[in-house]
Structure 1
């Protein structure tokens, strides 16, 4: 019995030590796995790892930057004679790859002085990796898709370009700097910055100054520079028909900047071509497609491909912009110095046919993101609220040159016709834009009347247009001066040209119109906010009112956008009968009011409303000039920032545009 007890005790002890070794071996394997995942093996985790420069784990994974490596212990063999083998399970999340790269590798474990460690081998990092090999990650960009017009023909597509710069294999030293200065001067770029870049570049570098369209004046200017090292490299790039065509809306395509790469979380690498601004940026995921990824073992002879995915071409995005209409809008704005915009919508469908921002907008989309008081063009909204309160076109109203509210004096424009003062039909007050009549009538409206009317005309909706946009904001006015100023489109009322074009479109269609700009967008493909986006433009504040941020949908009387991006129908949309009255009133502006210059525009009769919005400090007031118009199945809004009056500044722009598209 004693012998049996001793044998049993010895067996129990052996199993105890074996269990301890198994646990210790697994713990050592876990440390190896953690070090491999981190890209660095701490001292004591493995034995035999080379420590020279360009050797060991860090050198092997150096070119895998951007990929995330997860390693776990799949299994550990039973220890035997101080040795065991662990199987590690690897998973690399490679930017751009739809699925991870997974595999298993062995790692030998040995017990030293009561301590288990791993034994270094490159094969623990990747399958069959040798001492001479390292890993290299290469991404291949997919073919970028076009932006198509409503007819399915490309608007933005591959067009020939020239990359202009200095080839340092052909010039060096002081001569390279001299050539760079000559080229930079000819191209009107930042000369000192370009010269510095050339001086700091290596002896075999091509230092790009600018990318230009083939056949452009910039290309001709570069070719005229007679200096060594000036070099042009032909290529292609996704471009619109012209350099200015709807640029703030469409955006551009170019090499990713360091900032874009850093913010991408590894999905964008140096040299990648990405969308910058507008639709190109907002829909970059769909347009750019899926890059191809290759992981190879290199350095030991011919490269061995360990993991590979093929690039998947991008898918086109379709826009509603009409090339001829957009060109006409841009031509009408070409000579205007301050920021300006024209937006044209087809009321029957809501399609945005043109969204042009003039050269004074400096690349910003005044057309779709500008936030300005709409002035008297907003009287179309106020009139809808008044019609719903019982006012008719023939209702007699009091129009005086001035009107005092809570001690503040409001007035009509100095050129207001004297024969339209006094007791006049509401239609006359509308045609001549009598501020004081609207203010008197507004005092009897319910507080929610203006926000409700604005929502009924689509002004305060938040549609998903595929790019950041802003239509308008109409907070519930407070009694007194706020209410009076709101009736004439000032105080805290704000709108973009897109918003006021939507109002005109709703009046023309006899129903609430939701504008559309981008179609054919796949779910979750958008990188940008398709609804209201914050504008890079300054918020203009009308005189006598505080600067206000756009109100939330609840505050402005606008329904919140649905999760799918569709804009729900407002609670009180404009009706066909209401629209008919507004159409008649707007035609009166042309026939007997301030827009009589539109009487002879070819085509269907033009309906219009002028608008002037004051802003700035008392004694130094400035004006924004607005005008909206309807002609057949076309609704238009025009804005000239810091103009001199709706009829005198925005009016000729509208006329020029309508004649061009007639």
Structure 2
């Protein structure tokens, strides 16, 4: 079955599969007998079961796996959560469609006490608090089944009912919102903005709130359990209602700029070739968002809530981590071979190679193998720590609308560490994040992005040293004048940029990325299945910068 969300918000989910691991009955029988003897003898271990206490009850490894699964799901690390199950492909699709189709923000999943079954399985009950964007929180209880595998590890035995007890092959959930009049929205100068004039803003307008809460005044809706075939409502799981709209609420004033928004939408319509794509432009000095555009303009907001591997645009963060600790300098020779094997074979786009290249050349030509060769100069988890501490990635952002704020997990092995150096593996971002990363790199200071005034800022970051900023700006500029972002050369202003090509799967073309800065504006664009960043996202960004020559400074 397919498991995408339909236009009404229905979450479709595939059927479950699972495996059966070895029993540990023999061991437990021995333990039980030993305990019985100890009690019968009245020994000193009888009260606490002495040395046998650690062998009774559920295996702690099963509980750890359950909690890790919930933590990954809670943080939006769907590939990581799925890998902890007996059916990763099905699990990832269902978890993504469940949260996206029901418009769920960041869930809160709380594990309860584990229990062990007669057949050797372990079950971990949990409470799910699912914030439905703009409506309220849906709370329910479910259970994770875990089974020991042939290699002695534990996996969550995948079944649809663990996501919610009533999710099945015959029933699914559907989110229905009552039609409400969206609030009046203006740009930063007070100019009225409508969904008719700016199609990408239509789905976003009811999510904007002047208090930064991301909700809509007067929003109402419900989550229904429906028959997969007929769509008939079988029961209502949750109802939501909000306060009545007041006449004196007034318009929601945003940070958007009508000229930038119009140019962004036109650039996607003209240059994205009908592919799924998204773009964000924001001010470097304060993080205020000037434009949010999506193609198609209706439906899922890829620009703010998408979860993509950022590909080589992430080399901005990787370079920062290396430069911060003096692990490399721009003029150091870091060879760029065609291939490099770290568990798997990594290669450069179009199988390029640059023998004897400097690190600057590796950056401007986006050499994957050179960056991967430097992986041992960063400690485990250091890339994620730099992303969080200096760029705010993975911290909770309060933008004024629903967002996904990025994830950089600690690599599980050397292959994943190699992949994370080039923005692959489990590194996740979107255009909002990468526009912010670019702004931070060229200014040295992270500013939480914002769409409305008065948003709460709970982030805590450290400024980049001026020397690192200078090096990053120089390499970004060289990428336009001498590297893979030459498509932006010849435009007015001193533009810096970085291209990116992100692998998706063997049966899909790569996603194309490009980030850029000019004046006081940073931009990020992704084009799904765009093959290369310069060839797909490049024309979009060039079209935007051509249409809006000013820098909104």
Q: TM-score, normalised by structure 2?
A: 0.59
For the pair 1:147 / 2:147, whether they are aligned, the reply is no
Report the Cα offset of residue 152 of structure 1: 2.8
Deviation at 1:258, TM superposition (A): 7.0
SS in structure 2 of the partner of residue 658 of structure 1? helix
- 242, 255, 265: which one aligns with 1:320: 255
Is the Cα contact below 8 Å between 2:202 and 2:298 reproduced in 1?
Answer: no
TM-aligned CA deviation for residue 254 of structure 1: 12
Report the equivalent of 2:74. Answer: none
Contact 1:375 1:612 in 2 (8 A): yes
- Unmatched runs of 5 consecutive residues or more in structure 2: 1-179, 208-215, 225-235
Question: Which of 362, 385, 389 is the equivalent residue of 2:325?
Answer: 389
1:356 to 293, 310, 317: 293
List gaps (5 residues or longer) in structure 1.
1-141, 156-238, 269-284, 291-311, 522-564
**Distance change in 2, residues 1:267/1:384 (3 Å):** closer
Give 1:362 deviation, angstroms: 4.3
State the shift of 1:520 in Å.
Answer: 4.8
- C-alpha distance in structure 1 between counterparts of 2:221 and 2:256, whole Å: 32
What secondary structure is seen at the aligned counterpart in 2 of 1:472? coil
1:459: which partner in 2? 393
Give 1:574 shift: 2.1
Task: Please tell me whether Structure 1 or Structure 2 has the larger radius of gyration of its CA atoms.
Answer: 1
2 CA distance for matches of 1:492 and 1:513?
A: 25
CA contact (8 A) 1:497 1:638 kept: yes
- Measured in 2, the distance between the counterparts of 1:267 and 1:326 equals 32
The separation in 1 between residues aligned to 2:245 and 2:358, in whole angstroms, is 61
SS of 1:492's equivalent?
Answer: coil
Q: Report SS of the residue matched to 2:199.
A: coil
SS of the counterpart of 1:345? Answer: strand
The match for 2:201 among 242, 246, 271 is 246
Aligned to 1:569: 460
CA offset digits 1:86-144 (Å, max 9, x no partner): xxxxxxxxxxxxxxxxxxxxxxxxxxxxxxxxxxxxxxxxxxxxxxxxxxxxxxxx998
1:431 lines up with 2:364 in the alignment? yes
Q: Equivalents in 1 of 2:334, 2:444: separation in Å?
A: 26
Q: Distance in 1 between matches of 2:540 and 2:447?
A: 24
Cα pair distance change 1:146/1:412, threshold 3 Å:
same
Q: Deviations over 1:155-194 (max 9, x none)?
A: 2xxxxxxxxxxxxxxxxxxxxxxxxxxxxxxxxxxxxxxx
Match of 2:520 among 618, 624, 633: 633
Matches of 2:523 and 2:544, distance apart in 1: 9
Confirm or deny: 8 A CA contact 2:183 2:205 kept in the other structure.
Answer: no
CA distance in 1, matches of 2:479, 2:520: 19
Q: 1:596 aligns with which of 486, 494, 499?
A: 486
The structure in which a higher percent of residues are strand is: 1
| Conservation of the 8 A alpha-carbon contact between 1:443 and 1:483 | no
Following TM superposition, by how much is the alpha carbon of 1:449 offset from its aligned partner in structure 2, in angstroms? 1.7
Whole-angstrom distance in 2 between the partners of 1:433 and 1:497: 19
Q: CA RMSD in A?
A: 2.8
| Comparing 427-436 and 621-630, the one that deviates more | 621-630
Q: CA deviation at 1:656?
A: 0.8
Residue 580 in 1 paired to residue 466 in 2? no
Say if 1:459 and 1:500, in contact at 8 Å, map to a contact too: no
Residue 498 (structure 2) aligns with: 609
Question: How do 1:169-568 residues align onto structure 2 when only pairs under 5 Å count?
Answer: 239-240=194-195, 242=197, 244-251=199-206, 259=222, 267=241, 289-290=245-246, 313-335=248-270, 336=272, 337-359=274-296, 362-390=298-326, 391-406=328-343, 408-414=344-350, 416=352, 418=353, 421-455=354-388, 456-520=390-454, 565-568=456-459
**Alpha-carbon distance in structure 2 between the residues aligned to 1:591 and 1:427:** 13
CA displacement 1:306-338 (0-9 Å, x = unmatched): xxxxxx532432211111101100001114322
Tell me the distance in 1 between the aligned counterparts of 2:342 and 2:198: 50
Displacement of 1:634 in angstroms is 0.7
Secondary structure of 2:261 counterpart: helix
Give distance in 2, aligned partners of 1:362 and 1:453.
Answer: 35
SS of the residue corresponding to residue 635 of structure 1 reads strand
Q: Give, in angstroms, the shift of residue 498 of structure 1.
A: 0.3
Q: 1:627 to 1:647 in 2, by over 3 A?
A: same
Change over 3 Å in CA distance of 1:258–1:454 after alignment to 2: closer
249 and 577 in structure 1: CA distance in 2 versus 1, 3 angstrom threshold: farther
The TM-score with structure 1 as length reference comes to 0.49
